[in-house]
Amino acid sequence: MKIFRNPTRIMIFIMIFLFTVNMAAFGKNYNPSRQEIESMIDEVARKRAIPSVLLKSIAKVESTFTHYNSNGSPKISGPCIGLMMINNKNGGYDSNKLKYDIEYNIEAGADVLLNKWSMSSYKSVSSVGNMDPNILENWYFALWAYNGWAQSNNPHMLPSYAKKYTYQQLIYNICEEEYDKEINNIDISYLPSRGKPSRSLVVPTPSNSHSGDIILYEVGDFIRTDGVRTIYNLRDVPAGNFKHELKQNQLGIIKEGPILKNGYYWYKIYVNDSIEGWIERNWLLRTGDTQNGRYVFDDIAFHWGRKNIMQLYNAGIVSESKNFYPDNNVTKEEFCIFLSKTLKLENEENKLAFKDKNNISQWALNYVSNVYNAGLLNNYTEFKPKDKLTRKEAALIFTNLFEADASFESMDITSIFKDINNLNSLEKEAIKKAYVLGIMSGKGSGSFCPGDYLNRAETASIMVKLINK
C-alpha cells in the first residue's frame, strides 16, 4: 500500500492507532458524581467501623472526589493511585484494582487509615485519650500519619515549610466546612517544638469532643470476615494472644461484646465447636441475626430498621429482593400494599370512588381497594397514589382502625408534640390516637413532624407494631 511508503503518513497512522487504543482502554472509565462517591465511602466506613466524615474528608483532600483523569486514565501521582491516593510502592494492594475499581480503592484507603490508627493504639506512635475510635478528636495522629509520619505536620513547624495547614488540620477544615462536623484540636503544647512526638506521648482528648457514627453489633448477630485483607486473627481475649487464623468470608455468630481495648471494639465470635475467639469489629460484616435469620436485602445490615424489615419478610408481607431501600419515602399506594398485607385484608370488589383511581398502578390496585373497602381511606376524594405519604396522613389512615382509649380522653396531645398546634382537630385527634395506641411516636424531643414524609423503614416499624396489636 502506498500509504506505508511515506514516513510521515506512517507516523500519523501510528498516532491514530495509539489514540484509538487509549480511548478503547479508558473510554468506559468515568468519575461518578460526588454524591455517588460519598455514598460508596459511607458504605465502606460503616463496614470498617471508621467515622465516615473522616474518610470522606480524606477523599476530598487527596483527590477532590475524582478517581479518573478527563481522558479516562486512572489518577496517579508518583506511587499514589486513585481516589484515596494509595501509595502502593511496597505492593500491599492489587495495583490494577487500585486503578480501575473505585470501591477497592476506598477499601484500601480505609485499610491505610486503620493501619495508622493501630500505630497509635498499640503505642508505635503518639496517641490521644483512651483511643475510642468513635471520638473524632482521637484520630489526630492517625490522620497525621495517613501520608507518612511527616515532621511538617507538626503545627509548631509550619513556618519552616511552604504549608498553610497541617494535613490533619486540612481534614478538620473539610469536616467543618462541608459536613458541618466540628472537631476540636488537641492541646498542641504537648507536642515538641520540632520533629515528631515520641511514641510514649499520650495527649488528653479535648474536653469538648465529638462523636462519630460507628455502628456496633449485638450479641446474636450473624457475621462474616470481610475486607481487603485475606487473613484475620482470632485472639484469646480482646487485644490478647493469637489463637486462630480465619480466611475471608468466614461465617460466625457474635457471643460477647463489644469491649473497647487498645483502640478497637472487640467481639467474641463462635465459628464452630473448635473455633471461637475475639476479633476487631472492623473486619466483621453483619449478615443477619439469630432472631430473624439471614438478611435477604443487601442494604439493611447497618440500618436501625433491619429487624422490623426482616420480621415483615418472615411474615410474608415483603418479598426477597436485592435491596429494600429503607430510606426511600413510601408512596400512598405502596403504603396500602404494606397495610393490606399486614392486616390480611381480603380481596373484595373494586369499589374505589377516587376521582383519580385510574392513576393507581395495576400491581397496587387490589391492595388500595382492600384498604379503601376497610374504611381507612375515607379522608380522600382524590388519592394521588404516587405521591409521598406524610406522617399526619398515615395517622389519619389509622384513625378508623382502632377505638380510642377512653382513659386518655382528656389528654392534650399538643402538650406532648409542640409542632402540631396548627393542625385541624381531626388531624390532632388522629395523631393522639396513633400515639396512645403505640402505633406512631414522635421524631425527636417534643416533635411529631406531621409534614415529614414517611420512609419505608418507618413504615415497616409501624406494620410490626400493628402485627403486635
Average pLDDT over residues 85-110: 94
Alpha-carbon span 86 to 88, nearest angstrom? 6
In this structure, what are the phi and psi dihedrals at residue 468, rounded to the nearest 5 degrees?
Answer: -70, -20
* DSSP letters spanning 35-67: HHHHHHHHHHHHHHT--HHHHHHHHHHHHTT--
**For residues 319 and 443, is the Cβ–Cβ distance under 8 A?**
no
Task: With a cut of 50, say whether residue 1 has pLDDT above it.
Answer: no
Alpha-carbon span 18 to 11, nearest angstrom? 11
pTM of the model: 0.85
Look at the block and give the residue holding cell 520540632: 194
Per-residue pLDDT band at 8 (split at 50, 70, 90): low
Detail the DSSP E strand segments found in 201-250. Answer: 202-203, 221-225, 231-235, 242-247
Percent of the chain predicted with pLDDT > 90: 77
Instruction: Share the mean pLDDT of the chain.
Output: 91
Please enumerate in sequence order all residues whose Cβ is within 8 A of that of 343, keeping only pairs 6 or more positions apart, or say none: 374, 466
Alpha-carbon span 406 to 126, nearest angstrom? 63
Q: Which domains does the chain have, with CATH numbers?
A: 31-212 (1.10.530), 221-290 (2.30.30.40), 303-468 (no CATH)
> Which helix (H) or strand (E) segment is 254 a member of?
strand 251-261
Per residue in 227-283, pLDDT tens? 999 999 999 999 999 999 999 999 999 999 999 999 999 999 999 999 999 999 999
Strand 251-261, strand 202-203: pairing = unpaired
Average pLDDT over residues 62-81: 95
Per residue in 286-309, pLDDT tens? 999 999 999 999 999 999 999 999
Here the cell at position 73 is 486514565
**For residues 120 and 158, is the Cβ–Cβ distance under 8 A?**
no
pLDDT for the residue 22: 45
Task: With a cut of 80, say whether residue 148 has pLDDT above it.
Answer: yes
Per residue in 369-395, pLDDT tens? 999 999 999 888 899 999 999 999 999
Number of Cβ atoms within 10 Å of the Cβ of 198:
9
Written as one letter, the residue type at 163 is K
pLDDT for the residue 249: 96
Alpha-carbon span 346 to 27, nearest angstrom? 54
Per-residue pLDDT band at 33 (split at 50, 70, 90): very high
Here the cell at position 378 is 375515607
Average pLDDT over residues 431-458: 92
Look at the block and give the residue holding cell 400493628: 466
pLDDT for the residue 11: 55
Task: With a cut of 90, say whether residue 469 has pLDDT above it.
Answer: no
Alpha-carbon span 109 to 84, nearest angstrom? 6
Task: With a cut of 90, say whether residue 17 has pLDDT above it.
Answer: no
CA dihedral 133, 134, 136, 137 (to 10 degrees): -60
Please enumerate in sequence order all residues whose Cβ is within 8 A of that of 419, keeping only pairs 6 or more positions apart, or say none: 446, 447, 448, 449, 450
Check residues 306 and 29 and name the one with the higher pLDDT. 306
Written as one letter, the residue type at 238 is P
Strand 231-235, strand 242-247: pairing = antiparallel
Per residue in 54-66, pLDDT tens? 999 999 999 999 9
